[in-house]
Amino acid sequence: MRVNMREVANIANVSISTVSAVLTGKKYVSPLLKTRVENAVNQLGYDRRKIRSHPFSGPEKEVGLILPGIYSSYFQPLLSGVEDVAGKEDYNVILCDSDRSWEKECHALDRLVQRGVRNIILDSVCGVADEKRYFEELLLPLAKERDIRICLLSRDSKYDEIWSVAIDHYGASYMATDYLIRQGRKRIVHISGDPAFPHATLRIQAYRMALLDAGIRLDERYLLKGDFTPISGYAAMQEFLNKGIGADAVFSANDQMAIGAMKAIALAGLRIPQDIAVVGFDDLSVSSLVSPGLTTIHYPIYQIGYGAMRSIVDSREGKEVQGHVRMNAKLVIRRSSDASKHDDWQLNKW
């Protein structure tokens, strides 16, 4: 009976890609793993000539990347991060667009599994109410029973078998709201994303808590609903201004809605930041190009994509992986909240 590479990998307790790397010599493998593979090859009598004529390729070298709207400028740096690792490590990326539909997301996940893909990076649109069932009935069985590596983007995972790369959404949103309060702003509007999603809910909660800690009573009229698109930010802010309630600041749950709100503020004849200061979230390239430049939370989008893909590759190579990664966010101050600032133009990669 002929011995195959998977049997070698099982005996050595490493991935198939690690066996391939040892036998081809094309990539660095730690001495410890190399010894384990060599011992398994000798023990099983594996024919080394096969690997030279049939270099490793297949499902373990494919990564399914499911994103909710690839048309969004938000995902361009993330895609660059994923591809920078994938290209270097000879992985193929299969890009799927759920178009913000959980049904389409599940369908894309099913297609990838049926294809035999064993690595998935997922920015899920699953709502909070369905999250427990989604994880325990679908994602966990894939990870446990099929050895599929799953890494979530932008939301935390409560399960060791499902990895995550995200930021502290609550802490970053508290930082943004607290900054406006310290600037002397007291009538602060928050334009939220869809509260079905965990990060949108966390940003609302942080906004509320920052006001409470500052002794500012929350007026529910200042909590506006958006859906993360520029038009929703514009429409929400325009409707608010038409009511004549009055505000001196806006904290938007993302840059796109913030820019839409800025347009509504300008069309109403109000000045930014003198009348209404505006803070966004994400630090997209376009946020430095609008006038005035948008103060925002810098979200390390490229690093999140890079980190997620790196965790997949390292795991397949038998390296130890930190399953739940929290990356740092920071506040970038521009003229939309501070007229004394000089705007920085980010002219690369947009």
Per-residue pLDDT of the chain (350 residues; tens, 9 = 90+): 567 777 888 888 887 778 877 887 766 778 888 888 889 888 888 876 655 444 444 567 899 999 998 888 889 899 999 999 998 888 999 999 999 898 999 999 999 999 899 999 999 998 888 888 999 999 999 999 888 999 999 888 888 999 999 999 999 999 999 999 999 999 999 999 987 788 999 999 999 999 999 999 999 999 999 999 999 999 999 999 999 999 999 999 999 999 999 999 999 999 999 999 999 999 998 999 999 999 999 999 999 999 999 999 999 888 888 889 999 999 999 999 999 998 788 776 66
Is 5-53 assigned to CATH 2.30.30? no
Structural domain spans, the chain: 5-53, 59-167+301-327, 169-299
Contact, 227 vs 256, CB < 8 A?
A: no
Domain 169-299 CATH assignment equals 3.30.450.20: no
Q: What is the CA angle 46-90-162, rounded to 5?
A: 90
Full DSSP string of 110-127: HHHHHHT--EEEE-----
pLDDT at residue 60, rounded to an integer:
73
Give the orientation angle of helix 169-182 with respect to helix 198-213, to 10 degrees: 40
DSSP 149-162: EEEEESS--S-TTS
The pLDDT assigned to 21 comes to 77
pLDDT computed for residue 265 by the predictor: 98
Helix (H, G, I), strand (E, B) or coil at 98: coil
Contact 188, 180 (CB under 8 A): yes
59-167+301-327 and 169-299: identical CATH topology: yes
Query: For residue 202, which phi and psi values (nearest 5 degrees)?
Result: -65, -35
CATH superfamily, domain 59-167+301-327, is Response regulator (3.40.50.2300)
Q: Is residue 292 reached through a cis peptide bond, with omega within 30 degrees of 0 on the bond before it?
A: yes
Q: Using an 8 Å Cβ cutoff, are 153 and 304 in contact?
A: yes
